[in-house]
Structure 1
Amino acid sequence: MSEGSGERAGERASGGGGEHRSGFACLVGRPNAGKSTLTNALVGQKVAITSSRPQTTRHTVRGIVHRPDAQLVLVDTPGLHRPRTLLGQRLNDLVHETLAEVDVVALCVPADERIGPGDRFIAEALAAAPRSTKVALVTKTDKVRPERVAEQLLAVSALGEELLGGFADVVPASAATGEQVDVVADVLLSHLPPGPRLYPDGELTDEPEQVMIAELVREAALEGVREEMPHSLAVVVEEVARRENGLLEVHVWLYVERESQKGIIIGRGGSRLKDVGTRARRSIEALLGERCHLDLRVKVAKDWQRDPKQLQRLGF
C-alpha cells in the first residue's frame, strides 16, 4: 500500500467522535532497523536509547502516545536475530512473549537496505502470533531517493503477501526528519480496540528511573567503540542517593567480558570513560530535571552473556 492507505487509516483513527481507543503496539525488525529512533519520534521525547550498532536495545521500553480520542502504548523490543549466546536467546524469548500480548505489530524494514533473510525470519515469526494486526513500516526514507522508497514498499508488500496473507497497512516514514511519523501514529492507533486510557496524561514511559539511567549510560558508552562491544557491555545502577547539599549522586557499574574491553571503555588515562560520563550525565540530568554527580566504574565479568547466574545478576 502507498501513503494514501496510511492517510485513510488516520481518518479511521480520528474520525467522527467514535469510541476512545487504547492498546499496545510493538515495533519489530532486524537489529538497527530504526525501531528505537521511531519510538522516540512518535512519543516526542527520548524513551529508548539509539545507536548505530546493532542489538542496542535490551529491554522492552514502553513509550506512550497521547491523543484526545486514543492512547497508544509503544513497546520497543530487542531486534529478533538468530541467537549465538544465552543472552541472545533470552532477548529473542522476550520479543516472542511481547508479540503474543500486543494488539498491533509493526515490522520495520529500512529503505536503504534490500530485504534479506533476517526480514524473512522475522516475518515468519509474526505468522506465529495470530492475535495481533500486522502492519509494515519502511523506515529511514530520508536516506534514499523516492523511487527506491517505492521499490521497497512493493518488496515489503510482496513479503507480507507471501508469508502473512498481506499487511493491514504499509507506510513509509523517516524518524530523522519527522516525515510521515504522524501517519505512522494514525495507522497504529486505527488498529487498536476501543478502551479506556491506560496511563495518566503526560506520562511518556513506564520504565523505572534506574533502568532509564542505565540505558543512557550504555548509549554513551557504545558511541565510537568497535562492533563487539554492544553485545559485551552491561550497565547496572548500583545506587542513587542524595547528598546533604541536595545534589543527586548516581553510582553505576559497567560490566564487560574481557580485560581488553575494559581498556577500550576506560581509554588512555581514563579519557574515554570521562567523556562517557560527561555525555551520560547531561542525558540523565535532562531526564531527571536536576543536576547530578555520576560515578562510573568498569568491571570484568568473564563471558557473562553465556553464564546463567551472571545474566540473572545483571538483570537478564
Structure 2
Amino acid sequence: MSDNELSLEKILAGSDADKNQPTDYQAGFAAVIGRPNVGKSTIMNELLGQKLSITSHKPQTTRHRIHGIYTTQEHQIIYVDTPGMHLGGEKSINDYMNRTANSAFADVDVILFVVEAGRWTKEDEAVAKKLKGIDTPVVVLMNKIDNYKNKEDLFPFMQKVGESVTMDTLIPISAYKKSGLDLIKKEVLKYLPHQEKIFPEEYITDRSQRFLAAEIIREKLMRTLGEEVPYGSTVEIEQFKYDEEEGRWLINALILVERKGQKQIVIGKKGELIKQMGIQARKDLIALLDGRVHLELWVKVKENWSDDARALASLGYDDNYSS
C-alpha cells in the first residue's frame, strides 16, 4: 500500500471496489472492544494471520482505531481494533482514546467484546453498561482460557458475564494458544451483509505505511522499557521516503517525552536502550516495507503534549482518523 492512504469515503462509495462481485459475497465490520490489556490487538492479529496492531504487556498500548482487513473469495471481514475503554485518566489523550473506542459502536455489523477468563473488573462493567440498549449483535470473547486446566472452574464466571452483558453468544478462546479463532470467524459471518467488497482485495489495512512505521517504533519503546516506559511518550515520523539511488527506505523518527528526566530513561546508559529499540524496530520495518531500511531515532522533550489538544491533533491523535 502506498504512503498516501485511500480515503475511507471513496472506498465506501465503491469507486475502487470490484463491481463484479457475486451477490452471495459478504462484507462488513466487526469491532473488537474491551478494557485495556485484555488481548484485543493480539486477537485481531491472529484473526488476520499477520501482525498489524502493536502489542505489549502495558495497558493502553493501542491508542488509535485501526482497520484490519481479511479478504477471501467468499467474504471480507474488516476488524476494527480500538483502544481499551478505561476509567480515570483526566488528560486529553485519555479522552481521545475513550472517544475513539466509543466510536467503534457506530456503523459496525457485530461487536466482539473481549473479557479475560476469571476476571471481571469495574472497567468491564462500564463497557457492559454501554452495550445495553444497542441494536448491534454482541459476541463475548472470553480470552485466556488457557490459564485454567479445569474448564469447569469457569462456569461461575461465565454465569456472571451472562448476567452482566446483553449478548448473542459467548465464545471461550485463547489468543495465545490460537484456539477458538475459527469459531469467531464463523460467528461474525452470521451478521455480515451480502454485498460487494468494501476495500480492494490487496488491502490489509486502511492505515498508511508511515503510520504503521510509527506504531512499530512505539511498540519497541514499550517492550524495551517495560514498566519504566513513560506513559507520556509517543513517536513522530519526521522523514519517510524511499531513496532510489541508495535502494533503501530512509526513516527518521522522534520519540517524544514530556519531561527531561524521561529522555534519559528512553536513551539508557550510553545510549544502549535506544540502540536496542532501533535494532528491533528496523527488523519489523524491513518486513513491513519489504526492503532495506535506514532508521534513525532521536528523543525530544515536548512538555505536556498528552494534555494539549493541539499537540495531540498534530501528532495524529484526532477524531478525523489521521494517519
- TM above 0.5, yes or no, is yes
Q: Does 1:135 align with 2:139?
A: yes
Q: Indicate the residue corresponding to 1:9 in structure 2.
A: none
Look up the equivalent residue of 1:256 and give its one-letter code.
V
2:45 is aligned, of 40, 45, 49, to 40
How many Å apart are 1:153 and its aligned residue?
2.6
Please give the per-residue CA displacement for 1:66-91, whole angstroms capped at 9, x wherever unaligned. 23322110000000112321110111
Q: Distance in 1 between matches of 2:52 and 2:230?
A: 19
Contact 2:247–2:292 (Cα < 8 Å) also in 1: no
**Residue range with higher mean Cα deviation, 273-282 or 220-229:** 220-229
| Equivalent position SS for 1:231 | coil
| Equivalent position SS for 1:255 | strand
* Runs of 4+ residues deviating >4 angstroms: none
Query: Structure 1, unaligned stretches of length 5 or more?
Result: 1-16
| Equivalent position SS for 1:183 | helix
| Equivalent position SS for 2:104 | helix
How many Å apart are 1:226 and its aligned residue?
4.9
Identity of aligned pairs, percent? 34
Q: How well do the aligned residues superpose, as a CA RMSD in angstroms?
A: 1.8
Q: Indicate the residue corresponding to 1:7 in structure 2.
A: none
Q: Indicate the residue corresponding to 2:183 in structure 1.
A: 183
Q: Does 1:55 align with 2:60?
A: yes
Give the number of equivalent residue pairs: 293
Contact 1:100–1:131 (Cα < 8 Å) also in 2: no
TM-score by length of structure 1 reads 0.88
The structure-2 alpha-carbon separation of the partners of 1:44 and 1:106, relative to structure 1 and needing over 3 Å to count, comes to same
Q: Does 1:274 align with 2:278?
A: no
How many Å apart are 1:61 and its aligned residue?
1.1
Please give the per-residue CA displacement for 1:72-128, whole angstroms capped at 9, x wherever unaligned. 1000000011232111011111122221221111110011x4212110101111226
The structure-2 alpha-carbon separation of the partners of 1:101 and 1:227, relative to structure 1 and needing over 3 Å to count, comes to farther
TM-score by length of structure 2 reads 0.86
The structure with the greater share of residues assigned to helix is 1
Q: Distance in 2 between matches of 1:231 and 1:273?
A: 17
Contact 1:277–1:294 (Cα < 8 Å) also in 2: yes
Please give the per-residue CA displacement for 1:174-196, whole angstroms capped at 9, x wherever unaligned. 11111111111111121112221
Q: Distance in 2 between matches of 1:18 and 1:133?
A: 23
Q: Indicate the residue corresponding to 2:158 in structure 1.
A: 153
Structural mapping, 1:81-160, within 5 Å: 81-82=86-87, 83-111=89-117, 113-127=118-132, 130-145=134-149, 146-160=151-165
How many Å apart are 1:268 and its aligned residue?
0.3
Please give the per-residue CA displacement for 1:26-57, whole angstroms capped at 9, x wherever unaligned. 11111001000000000000010001000000
Structural mapping, 1:1-316, within 5 Å: 19-82=24-87, 83-111=89-117, 113-127=118-132, 130-145=134-149, 146-160=151-165, 164=166, 167-227=167-227, 229=229, 231-243=231-243, 244-316=245-317
| Equivalent position SS for 1:225 | helix
